[in-house]
Structure 1
Amino acid sequence: MELLFIADPLHSFKIYKDTTFAMMREAHRRGHTLTVSEPQHIMWQRGSKVSARVQDIRLTGDPTHWYDAPEQRSAWLADFDAVLMRKDPPFDSEYFYATHLLEQAEREGARVFNKPRALRDHPEKLAIMEFPQLIGPTLVTRDAGDIQRFHAQHQDIILKPLDGMGGMGIFRVGPDGLNLGSITETLNRHGARSVMVQKFLPEIVEGDKRVLIIGGKPVPFCLARIPQGREVRGNLATGGKGVARPLSARDREIAAALGPVLQQRGLLLAGVDVIGDCVTEINVTSPTCFQEIQEQTGCDVAGLFIDALEAAVATHRG
Structure 2
Amino acid sequence: MDPIEAIAIDKDSTFALMWEAQRRGHEVWYALVDDLWARDGLPWVSARTARLAKVQGEHADLGPRVDLALGDVDLVWMRKDPPFHMDYIFNTYLLDYVPPPTLVVNAPHGLRAMNEKAWAIRFADLTPTSIITQSMDRIRALAEELGRIVVKPLDGNGGEGVFILRKDDPNIGVILEASTRHETRKVLAQTYLPEAKQGDKRIILVDGEPVGAVNRVPQGVDHRGNIHAGAAVDKATLTPREQEICARIGPDLREAGQIFVGIDVIGDWLTEVNVTSPTGIHEINTFDGVCLEALILDAADRRWRKLQE
1:36-55 matches, cutoff 5 A: 36-46=30-40, 49-55=42-48
- 1:24 matched to 2:18: yes
Task: From 52, 72, 83, give the equivalent of 1:59.
Answer: 52
- 1:251 matched to 2:242: yes
Q: For residues 83-104 of structure 1, what are the alpha-carbon distances to aligned partners after superposition, in whole Å with 9 as ceiling and x for unaligned?
A: 0101111111111100000001
Q: Which residue of 2 aligns with 1:4?
A: none
Task: From 215, 219, 233, give the equivalent of 1:242.
Answer: 233
For 2:34 and 2:101, the matched residues in 1 are separated by: 21
**For structure 1, which runs of at least 5 residues remain unmatched after alignment?**
1-6
Q: Which amino acid letter does the alignment assign opposite residue 22 of structure 2?
A: H
Post-superposition offset of 1:45: 1.5
1:221-236 matches, cutoff 5 A: 221-236=212-227
1:196-215 matches, cutoff 5 A: 196-215=188-207
Q: Which amino acid letter does the alignment assign opposite residue 35 of structure 1?
A: W
1:5-16 matches, cutoff 5 A: 7-16=1-10
Task: From 143, 155, 166, give the equivalent of 1:151.
Answer: 143
1:28-107 matches, cutoff 5 A: 28-46=22-40, 49-106=42-99
**With structure 2 as the length reference, what TM-score do the two structures score?**
0.96
- 1:171 matched to 2:126: no
Q: Which residue of 1 aligns with 2:252?
A: 261
For 1:64 and 1:195, the matched residues in 2 are separated by: 38
Q: Which amino acid letter does the alignment assign opposite residue 30 of structure 2?
A: V
Task: From 294, 297, 309, give the equivalent of 1:306.
Answer: 297
For 2:53 and 2:166, the matched residues in 1 are separated by: 51
Q: How many residues of Structure 1 are paired with residues of Structure 2 in the alignment?
A: 309
For 2:80 and 2:196, the matched residues in 1 are separated by: 28
Note if contact 2:5-2:57 (Cα within 8 Å) is conserved in structure 1: no
Q: Which residue of 2 aligns with 1:113?
A: 105
What root-mean-square deviation, in Å, do the aligned CA atoms of Structure 1 and Structure 2 show? Answer: 1.3
Q: Which residue of 2 aligns with 1:3?
A: none
Q: Which residue of 2 aligns with 1:133?
A: 125
For 1:76 and 1:64, the matched residues in 2 are separated by: 29
SS of equivalent to 1:33: coil
Note if contact 2:74-2:101 (Cα within 8 Å) is conserved in structure 1: no
Q: Which residue of 2 aligns with 1:281?
A: 272
Q: Which amino acid letter does the alignment assign opposite residue 21 of structure 1?
A: F
Post-superposition offset of 1:306: 1.2
For 2:292 and 2:101, the matched residues in 1 are separated by: 28
Post-superposition offset of 1:283: 0.6
Percentage of identical aligned residues? 36
- 1:295 matched to 2:286: yes
Note if contact 2:5-2:60 (Cα within 8 Å) is conserved in structure 1: no
Post-superposition offset of 1:175: 4.5
Per mean C-alpha deviation after superposition, the further-off stretch among 277-286 and 66-75 is 66-75
Q: Which amino acid letter does the alignment assign opposite residue 237 of structure 2?
A: P
Note if contact 2:140-2:167 (Cα within 8 Å) is conserved in structure 1: no
Q: Which amino acid letter does the alignment assign opposite residue 148 of structure 1?
A: R
For 1:168 and 1:141, the matched residues in 2 are separated by: 18
SS of equivalent to 1:133: coil
Post-superposition offset of 1:149: 0.9
